[in-house]
């Protein structure tokens, strides 16, 4: 698949067949992520990889941790968590992405940008491999306790998102994009 086809056909996929992704395939996607541009060769991205057994253990942790089960709405928390757990059960793998925070705000902003580019690389590589991906900042998955459980350190690492991966069980229509003339102008 050529780059432009991957860029245009990548869609946010939230429904998966339940087929497992081999660890080697997930690692190949992370390798593609690591070819993103990054200033000072900081390579600030950090990845925590969850195969299906780890995703199941994560689900157990989320359920057993009231501070997480209640986010973002203490009243609807249980229902939202049940929906999340159901969806997580269909994933082939999950990749949690963080970046190493820099003390200098300008460098930190650049490192965040580099890590975001790495996420897009990962999602495009997944598309090219016929896989679905979903860049999620779900509050339960973004919770500092969840990050710590996954092996990220919220004290010194920021969080880009949880990247859901798997065999797509849906093919959503592309959401609209603004015209180039609405977002770009020649100087
Ligand atoms: C940083 C970031 C966080 C996102 N978090 C969520 C999320 O928590 N829930 C969600 O439904 N979509 C989330 N999305 C996906 C967007 O909703 C999606 O990209 C957008 O609807 C466009 O659809 P497309 O990805 O198929 O082009 C996120 C996207 C980005 C870049």
| Residue 3 confidence (pLDDT) above 80 | yes
| CB-based burial, 145-182: b 16+ in 10 Å, e otherwise | ebbebbebebeebbbbbbbbbbbbeeeeeeeeeeeeee
Given ligand 1 and candidates 80, 123, 133, 137, which is best to mutate, with the most ligand atoms within 8 Å of its CB? Answer: 137
Residue 183: inside a domain: no
| Residue 73 confidence (pLDDT) above 70 | no
For residue 68, what is the enclosing H or E element?
Answer: helix 66-69
Burial class from Cβ neighbours inside 10 Å (0-12, 13-18, 19+) for residue 112 reads middle
Residue with tokens 């959401």: 175
Q: How far is the CA of 13 from the centre of ligand 1 (A)?
A: 10
The answer to whether the CB of 167 falls within 8 A of the CB of 16 is yes
Residue 16: inside a domain: yes
Residue 160: inside a domain: yes
| Residue 72 confidence (pLDDT) above 70 | no
Average the pLDDT over 155-167 and give the result.
98
| Residue 74 confidence (pLDDT) above 90 | no
Q: Whose CA is nearest to atom 11 of ligand 1?
A: 136
Given ligand 1 and candidates 135, 142, 146, which is best to mutate, with the most ligand atoms within 8 Å of its CB? Answer: 135
| Residue 76 confidence (pLDDT) above 80 | no
Question: pLDDT value at position 16?
Answer: 98
Q: By percentage, how much of the chain surpasses pLDDT 70?
A: 96
Burial class from Cβ neighbours inside 10 Å (0-12, 13-18, 19+) for residue 64 reads exposed
**Residue 171 Rama label (left phi>0; alpha psi -120 to 50; beta):** beta
Residue 65: inside a domain: yes
* pLDDT one-digit tens code per residue, 84-127: 999 999 999 999 999 999 999 999 999 999 999 999 999 999 99
Question: pLDDT value at position 79?
Answer: 82
Residue 111: inside a domain: yes
Nearest to 140, CA basis, from 155, 161, 111: 161
| Residue 178 confidence (pLDDT) above 70 | yes
Assign 51 to helix, strand or coil: coil
Question: pLDDT value at position 75?
Answer: 62
The pair of structure tokens assigned to 32 is: 């593609």
- The structure's pTM equals 0.96
Average the pLDDT over 46-68 and give the result.
96
Q: Whose CA is nearest to atom 9 of ligand 1?
A: 136
Residue 174: inside a domain: no
Q: Whose CA is nearest to atom 13 of ligand 1?
A: 136
Around 64, how many Cα atoms within 13 Å sit in the side-chain half-sphere? 7
Average the pLDDT over 161-180 and give the result.
98
Q: How far is the CA of 122 from the centre of ligand 1 (A)?
A: 14
Given ligand 1 and candidates 8, 88, 136, 141, which is best to mutate, with the most ligand atoms within 8 Å of its CB? Answer: 136
Residue 181: inside a domain: no
CATH number of the domain within which 158 lies: 3.40.109.10
**Can you give the residue range of the structural domain that contains 87?**
3-169
Q: What is the number of domains present in the chain?
A: 1
């Amino acid at each position: 698949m050529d780059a432009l086809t991957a860029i245009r056909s990548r869609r946010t996929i939230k429904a998966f067949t339940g087929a497992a992704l081999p660890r080697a395939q997930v690692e190949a996607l992370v390798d593609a992520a690591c070819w993103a541009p990054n200033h000072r060769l900081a390579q600030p991205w950090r990845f925590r990889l969850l195969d299906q057994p780890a995703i199941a253990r994560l689900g157990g942790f989320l359920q057993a941790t009231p501070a997480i089960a209640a986010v973002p709405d203490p009243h609807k928390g249980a229902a939202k968590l049940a929906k999340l757990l159901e969806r997580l059960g269909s994933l082939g793998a999950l990749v949690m992405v963080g970046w190493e925070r820099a003390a200098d705000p300008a460098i930190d902003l650049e490192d965040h940008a580099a890590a975001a580019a790495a996420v897009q690389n990962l999602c495009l590589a997944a598309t090219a491999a016929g896989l679905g991906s979903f860049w999620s900042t779900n509050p339960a998955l973004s919770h500092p306790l969840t990050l710590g459980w996954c092996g990220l350190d919220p004290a010194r690492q920021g969080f880009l998102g949880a990247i859901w991966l798997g065999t797509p069980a849906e093919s959503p229509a592309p959401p609209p994009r603004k015209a180039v003339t609405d977002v770009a102008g020649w100087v």
